[in-house]
Structure 1
Amino acid sequence: MKTVHVKTDSVTLAGLPLGRVDENRLDATSEKDITSQMAKDDAEAMKDSAKFTRRVRHRLGLSQLEFSQRIDVSLETIRNWEQGKRQPTGAARALLKVLNKVPEAALSALI
């Protein structure tokens, strides 16, 4: 990846390179279009979260039931995460990240 250093003038934006913005398309974008795109983005994030949860569980070699018991979360919650119906948040998300990075230490701490 190429790194570009840009000096900016705090008074004007003249120092910034011109972007590739289609002003006509931007002006024609409605609130409905924005809401629709936000919904699509949220759906994609849910898929990514589901894949991550499933990958962590597979990496540990555990079934959904075993995984739910080890991390003290209901089986239904695990299924909802993996099917993209819900996303892990807060402590659950942090635990999944730790399980992904240092699974042995995380699992031994959960005993």
Structure 2
Amino acid sequence: MKTVRVTIDPAVPATLSGGRIDPARVDGTTEADLARQAAADAAAALQDAAKFARRVRKRLGLSQAEFSERIDVPVETIRNWEQGKRSPTGAAKALLKVLDKAPEAALTALH
């Protein structure tokens, strides 16, 4: 790979790179556009958490009721996680990660 050195002088605007953005698009972005994108990102994050919670439970071969009993969490909470209505946080998120990586040890420690 070839290395290219570029000297940038802030006093000379011609040496400043435009970057990898479309300035017209950035200038045309409204606060409503930003809020809409933030909402879409939040919804996608909830769906990712829902898929993760469902995948962990299914890898263990447990129903929602069995899973809730094993990890001592109400079955409604499991349903909310898997439907994307709520996202596991704190200790619940850590427990799901441990169940994903070392399920036998985690389940043994829980009982």
**TM band (smaller chain):** 0.7 to 0.9
The equivalent of 1:43 in structure 2 is 43
Match of 2:57 in 1: 57
Residue 31 of structure 2 corresponds to residue 31 of structure 1: yes
2-structure distance, mates of 1:93, 1:67 = 15
| Structure 2 equivalent of residue 76 of structure 1 | 76
Which amino acid in 1 is paired with 2:76?
E
Give every structure 1 segment of 4 or more consecutive aligned residues whose post-TM-superposition deviation is greater than 3 Å. none
Tell me the TM-score normalized by structure 2.
Answer: 0.84
Distance in 1 of aligned mates of 2:37 and 2:76: 29
Structure of higher CA gyration radius? 2
Q: Deviations over 1:7-30 (max 9, x none)?
A: 9x9xx7xxx976310011101111
Superposed CA deviations along residues 39-73 of structure 1, whole A, max 9, x for unmatched, are 00011111111000000000000000000011110
Structure 2 residues not aligned, in runs of 5+: 11-15
Structure 1 stretches lacking a partner, 5+ long: none
TM-score normalised by the chain length of structure 1: 0.84
SS at match of 2:27: helix
* Identity percentage of aligned residues: 65
Deviates more, 1:18-27 or 1:82-91: 18-27
What is the alpha-carbon distance in structure 1 between the residues aligned to residue 54 and residue 96 of structure 2? 10
What is the rounded CA distance, in whole Å, between the counterparts of 2:100 and 2:19 in structure 1?
A: 38
Q: Quick one: structure 1 residues 67 and 20, their matched pair in 2 at CA, closer, same or farther if it must change by over 3 Å?
A: same
